[in-house]
Amino acid sequence: MAGRLRFRLAFWPPFVAPERMFETAELGRKLSKEEHRTRIDVARVDLLNLQSTLLQRGQPAALILIGGVEGAGKGEVLNRLFEWMDARYLHTRAFGAPSEDEAARPRYWRYWMSLPERGHLGVFLGSWYTDPIVSRVLGTSTDAELDRSLSRAVEFERALAADGMLIVKLWLHVSKRDQARRFRELEKTPETRFRVTKRDWDFAQRYDDFRRTCGRALRKTSTGTAPWTVIDAANARYRDVAVAEHLVERLRSAAASPTPRPPPAAPAIRTDDPITVLDAVDLTETVSREEYQKALPALQAKLAKLCRRLPKRGRSLTVVFEGWDAAGKGSAIRRIIWALDARQYRVIPIAAPTDEERAHHYLWRFWRHLPKRGQVTLYDRSWYGRVLVERVEGFAREQDWRQAYLEINDFEEQLVEDRVSLVKLWLHISAEEQLARFEARKKLAYKQHKLTEEDYRNREKRFSYEQAAHEMFERTSTEYAPWHRIAANDKRAARLSVLRAVIAQLERDL
Amino acid sequence: MAGRLRFRLAFWPPFVAPERMFETAELGRKLSKEEHRTRIDVARVDLLNLQSTLLQRGQPAALILIGGVEGAGKGEVLNRLFEWMDARYLHTRAFGAPSEDEAARPRYWRYWMSLPERGHLGVFLGSWYTDPIVSRVLGTSTDAELDRSLSRAVEFERALAADGMLIVKLWLHVSKRDQARRFRELEKTPETRFRVTKRDWDFAQRYDDFRRTCGRALRKTSTGTAPWTVIDAANARYRDVAVAEHLVERLRSAAASPTPRPPPAAPAIRTDDPITVLDAVDLTETVSREEYQKALPALQAKLAKLCRRLPKRGRSLTVVFEGWDAAGKGSAIRRIIWALDARQYRVIPIAAPTDEERAHHYLWRFWRHLPKRGQVTLYDRSWYGRVLVERVEGFAREQDWRQAYLEINDFEEQLVEDRVSLVKLWLHISAEEQLARFEARKKLAYKQHKLTEEDYRNREKRFSYEQAAHEMFERTSTEYAPWHRIAANDKRAARLSVLRAVIAQLERDL
């Protein structure tokens, strides 16, 4: 009997209790005109002062998400924020259906692109929560898919919070009855009638489903660093005061936290185990000129053919080149682009970030240049700088580059899910070969510009770089985006290997 | 008889002589393998050295347009540039049909967005010439329309050149016979067959029309600062050497020109005529509280209704706010956004440019934030900073802010042509009223942050600013985008006037 009961509980449509999370926001709170005025006046002074403190101290940005059911006054709250704060450092973005350009990139692209820069305040109306919730309610996704989307949201927010961003998530709640009343009120006046759409009424019919799904979403994404705050929005005066005072509280604690980031710690390099996975690369392989001249055009033709199929399949190709200076990244890239139509590819060399880029999370600049589907993108160095040069040179704190492994894996997973064929190549040469190439460059007039003092300095740090690369391979060689270590002491062999690795990945994916 | 002959010449389809411009590029030039090798090697060293000179000296960018008939090898030349130069500072963009996001903005938006930054090299395959030429040949536009597009192109290039950008326009030419031969060759091999499309053969049928229209386009847009160079592209070796050597020549003369811009000249302010058009603004107008509270909601409702019609009509609204500090720009903006849906509007406050923005023409950052059609955009200060603060404070050279009037008018004309309703407002208050407001701000806690030492300093320069504003009105009050001077000593009157000006413009346009 007990077994049978369990069976029924597990597999039958369960009895669904009303979502209780929002009950605390249905207490019919109200505020008198006078109390509203007094408290808002206090909060406004605080908000303006806090805003300018954050800005002057160059603190990370604050992001305010305004979510909630229709009719709770999300747009009105947004307008209030404009009234209370300094609009020059307040940026708002309302997300509707994605545009063509947005739809041609991973789902989070438009959110990344809308993030506020350091010291500024971003306000989002609608967010990465909207689609997952609506799909679940409309039945086009399952609970498992909803949960998966929610985990992604948590990861995204965690990355931003780790970068110091303050994330305030407000959920404006009204009861089913108050929602319907509000819609009817809006419909009465010609000036506001347009605000209630057929979709709003359709969704109102599903109020209970929304309530349940939203409750689940809020619970699963209320993390320590980015909790949800549910606000009783039935009464506009109470709602506004609650929003203002909550913002003051959150901004104040952000302002109180130690601002000037501690100086980067000395990079932690293991010295107990000098053998790295790079030592296993066989650098003796060579390819004769004849062999090369026969193989190259055939491989290029094959690559060209595969790349032409990308747009039709709605797929992209992204190739990441990392490796030692003078390992031949540039010449390998040229062997690839020779096979392609200039309209289809882009080479993105990664240099030092600009000040706009520095005012964002370090992955922002890679999101920024993400191509649309159908394109081939070749990165000459990449987001791995965080765990290579930034780590070894001490530009990033240990906790930051350690966190980066996770963030990079998540980033690449999103690319692969968005139908990007991702090929990551490490071009490996021995220390001796590198020195020989540096010396040869000195003699070749049109290569002299490529050689700087820094190259020699970096060379001395080879051991540290080897350790960092080793750990990078260990932590970021995922099943969806493995690393290929290319033996590059022989240039011809390297170029052919690069082409073969790219072709193999495309053949698997297409 | 003579009269009749003239009649026929003028109105009948004229006898069309073959376009002679390209004859000089049909001389069958060739190069031996050895000569090609020698000359390319010399050019490569020069190119790399020049590229790094330009970069190190922080010189303005260079832009290379590669145009020409199909089959002339534009893509191959692009690949060569990647081979010869430092790819890290070389950015390419191939323009096809505009994307949805691009089509929702003025035609030049995507070209502005693709411009290289200072010290870098941009290479464009296809450009603002492609559409006008193709439309003319296909007969969807007239000669007059073609000429109009060409004038716009000249203005665009003039603005870039005035900002110091080097513009190299290469036209790769092959004869009708060589083009057909090239297509047939490409079609022979399976690896290259895809490169020849049906469209290519269709266009080849119209070779003579293209030749004529391209000739006209090249002649009309070969200006002193941005001339076209026609290159005989029948022989790949000759073509490549010609391109490389021409580039060396142009980059060398750019590098030889005086780099460090002369320090800004002292601003030229007329002092002989202290009366400005601002003196004619009647600042005595007042509106009673009762009148205001009656009029405001009615105007806001009217505005809301008009703005809702924008998306359906494929139109946008852009409102530019300029005027004295403390004139009430912010509060006027809030009165507008209260009427709008948060999803439809954006407030863009204009502060100091970022380093990425400084690395471009000064109008770049305004192009950058240009909204898509259907949107309402409110600028708190604007592109007029160039002829106001930058002029008065001496941040811009006289020749630069003088040139700006032209550039701004051209920019605004493009907006209006792209169905933007453009409203430009100058909020005017007297010097006494401004001082009184500054003093009042000191007392109001939540307005203190708005007051800085700089405000008082700027006040002392009121006379210079008045003169600059006067000239700005004179030169940029165009029939398609006139200035409105709003009397703002009385805040209520000002807010109503602002709403009325915006509504009037929308009523005219919708």
Report pLDDT digits (tens) over B131-143.
Answer: 999 999 999 999 9
Q: CB B354 to CB A356 under 8 A?
A: yes
Q: CB B347 to CB A304 under 8 A?
A: no
Chain B residues within an 8 Å CB radius of A446: 41, 44-45, 48
Tell me the C-alpha distance between B387 and B3, whole Å: 53
pLDDT > 60? residue A270: no
Section A396-419 average pLDDT: 90
Q: CB A92 to CB B346 under 8 A?
A: yes
Average pLDDT for chain A: 87
Mutation target among A334, A379, A449 for the B interface, most CBs of B within 10 A? A449
Section A274-283 average pLDDT: 84
Closest CA to B421 of B311, B333, B497, B277: B311
Average pLDDT for chain B: 87
Q: Which of A470-474, B156-160, B195-199 has the lowest mean pLDDT?
A: B195-199
Chain A residue with minimum CA distance to B297: A191
Beta carbons of B487 and B285 less than 8 angstroms apart: yes
Chain B residues within an 8 Å CB radius of A349: 87-89
Residue B197: pLDDT band with limits 50, 70, 90: confident
Among candidates A44, A342, A450 on the partner chain, residue whose Cβ is nearest the Cβ of B446: A44
CA distance B275 to chain A (A): 33
Residue B99: what pLDDT?
86
List beta partners, residue A49.
Answer: none
Residue B367: what pLDDT?
93
Chain B residues within an 8 Å CB radius of A337: 79, 82
Chain B residue with minimum CA distance to A303: B191
pLDDT > 70? residue B274: no
User: Residue A403 is encoded by which pair of tokens?
Assistant: 């966190």
Residue A260: what pLDDT?
47
User: Residue B379 is encoded by which pair of tokens?
Assistant: 């600028």
Closest CA to A470 of A328, A274, A265: A274
The identity of residue B88, as a single letter, is R
Considering the entire predicted model, what is its pTM? 0.80
Q: What is the pLDDT of residues A134-176, one digit of tens each?
A: 999 999 999 999 999 999 999 999 999 988 899 999 999 999 9
Q: CB B86 to CB A449 under 8 A?
A: yes
Among candidates A75, A308, A450 on the partner chain, residue whose Cβ is nearest the Cβ of B194: A308
Section B469-473 average pLDDT: 92
Chain A residues within an 8 Å CB radius of B43: none
Q: What is the pLDDT of residues B330-366, one digit of tens each?
A: 899 989 988 888 778 888 888 888 888 988 999 999 9
pLDDT > 50? residue B212: yes
Between residues B244 and A443, the one the model is more confident about: B244
CA distance A79 to chain B (A): 7
Chain B residue with minimum CA distance to A192: B301
Chain A residue with minimum CA distance to B89: A349
CA distance A107 to chain B (A): 17
Section B365-391 average pLDDT: 92
Chain B residue with minimum CA distance to A75: B342
Listed in sequence order, the residues at least 6 apart from A2 whose beta carbon sits closer than 8 Å to its beta carbon are none
CA distance A32 to chain B (A): 22
Name the packing angle between helices B143-162 and B207-221 (round to 10°).
40
Chain B residues within an 8 Å CB radius of A86: 449-450
Beta-carbon pairs below 8 A across chains A and B: 115
Among candidates A79, A87, A99 on the partner chain, residue whose Cβ is nearest the Cβ of B342: A79
Section B81-107 average pLDDT: 87
Section A454-482 average pLDDT: 87
Residue B459: what pLDDT?
75
Q: CB B347 to CB A308 under 8 A?
A: no
Highest mean pLDDT among A98-112, B88-102, B253-267: A98-112
Q: CB A79 to CB B355 under 8 A?
A: no
Q: What are the backbone angles phi and psi of residue B171, rounded to the nearest 5°?
A: -115, 115
**Is B509 exposed, middle or buried (CB count within 10 Å of its CB: 0-12, 13-18, 19+)?**
middle
Q: What is the pLDDT of residues B19-30, one digit of tens each?
A: 677 887 888 888
| Per-residue DSSP letter, A31 | -
Among candidates B48, B125, B355 on the partner chain, residue whose Cβ is nearest the Cβ of A449: B48
Tell me the C-alpha distance between B310 and B509, whole Å: 10
CA distance B68 to chain A (A): 15
Q: CB B334 to CB A445 under 8 A?
A: no
Residue B329: pLDDT band with limits 50, 70, 90: very high
Tell me the C-alpha distance between A164 and A492, whole Å: 46
SS3 (DSSP) at A347: strand
Among candidates B87, B337, B380 on the partner chain, residue whose Cβ is nearest the Cβ of A347: B87
Residue A383: what pLDDT?
97
H helix runs in B277-374, sequence order: 289-313, 329-337, 355-358, 364-368
Residue B469: what pLDDT?
94
Highest mean pLDDT among A139-153, A185-199, B257-271, B485-499: B485-499
H helix runs in B57-192, sequence order: 74-84, 100-103, 109-113, 130-138, 143-162, 176-188
Residue B13: pLDDT band with limits 50, 70, 90: very low
Domains and CATH numbers, chain A: 30-256 (3.40.50.300), 277-509 (3.40.50.300)
Residue B10: what pLDDT?
40
Chain A residues within an 8 Å CB radius of B195: 341
pLDDT > 50? residue A431: yes
Q: What is the pLDDT of residues A11-33, one digit of tens each?
A: 444 445 556 778 878 888 889 99
Q: CB A347 to CB B52 under 8 A?
A: no
Residue B275: what pLDDT?
78
ipTM: 0.73
CA distance B20 to chain A (A): 30
Beta carbons of B502 and B319 less than 8 angstroms apart: yes
Q: What is the pLDDT of residues B275-298, one digit of tens each?
A: 788 888 899 989 999 999 999 999
Q: CB B74 to CB A342 under 8 A?
A: yes
User: Residue B469 is encoded by which pair of tokens?
Assistant: 């504003």
pLDDT > 50? residue B326: yes
CA distance B197 to chain A (A): 13
Mutation target among B343, B354, B372 for the A interface, most CBs of A within 10 A? B343
Closest CA to B85 of B136, B133, B46: B46
Mutation target among A296, A337, A346, A441 for the B interface, most CBs of B within 10 A? A337
Beta carbons of B39 and B91 less than 8 angstroms apart: no
Q: What is the pLDDT of residues B120-174, one digit of tens each?
A: 899 999 899 999 999 999 999 999 999 999 999 999 999 899 888 999 999 999 9
Q: CB B342 to CB A83 under 8 A?
A: no
H helix runs in A321-443, sequence order: 329-337, 355-358, 364-368, 389-392, 398-417, 431-443
Residue B273: what pLDDT?
66
Q: What percentage of chain B has pLDDT greater than the value 70?
A: 92
Chain B residues within an 8 Å CB radius of A450: 86
Residue A86: what pLDDT?
83
Tell me the C-alpha distance between A165 and A124, whole Å: 14
Residue B432: pLDDT band with limits 50, 70, 90: very high
Q: CB B380 to CB A88 under 8 A?
A: yes
Q: What is the pLDDT of residues A339-364, one digit of tens each?
A: 888 778 888 888 888 888 988 999 99
